[in-house]
Amino acid sequence: MKERIIAIAADHGGYELKEIIKEHLGKNNIKYVDFGTNSAESCDYPVYARPACNAVQNGECECAILVCGTGIGMSLAANKCHGIRAACCSDTFSVRMTRLHNNANALCLGARVIGPGLALDMVDLFLSTGFEGDRHQKRIDLVAEIEAAGK
């Protein structure tokens, strides 16, 4: 069985929450690769979303957790990466459904939208919920067709 490794990245708005999530992952013996940023100094979210998503694309990492101020910027950047299904979530129901039905492989969180406690609950749920497949796979395939046609 392949070792589970999570890609994690943030911009300045998500830096502090990223650090909290890293500590949580470490305490739970979940390996991760930190793609930055490494401070709260102003920076551009696409610069950090792209290498984290590339690690998911090439199989280095199983999935990505991306954090910015709202989660929206990271999700916009991540969803431009071929094969990435990023979901910006602010509640546990959405996290559960995006894994079960959308097979999301990137969770985008807004550090200015949710607190650390909820964020950690959402991370745990994202990492522990599997894809239901079946009728949902057809929809994922249809989304992939749209992605392929957009090239």
- Whether residue 2 is predicted with pLDDT greater than 80 in this model: the reply is no
Q: What is the pLDDT of residues 53-82, one digit of tens each?
A: 999 999 999 999 999 999 999 999 999 999
Q: Where are the domains of the chain?
A: 5-149
Catalytic annotation present for 68: yes
Q: How far is it, in rounded angstroms, from Cα 7 to Cα 101?
A: 22
Helix 116-128 vs helix 92-100: crossing angle, to nearest 10: 20
- Quickly list DSSP for 16-47: HHHHHHHHHHHHTT-EEEE----SSS---HHH
Pick one of 3.40.50.150, 1.20.210.10, 1.10.1530.10, 3.40.1400.10 as the CATH number of 5-149: 3.40.1400.10
Give me the pLDDT at residue 55, please: 98
Average pLDDT, the chain: 96
- Whether residue 133 is predicted with pLDDT greater than 90 in this model: the reply is no
Catalytic annotation present for 82: no
Active-site residue identified among 61, 68, 88, 89: 68
Distance of CA 13 to the CA centre of its chain: 16
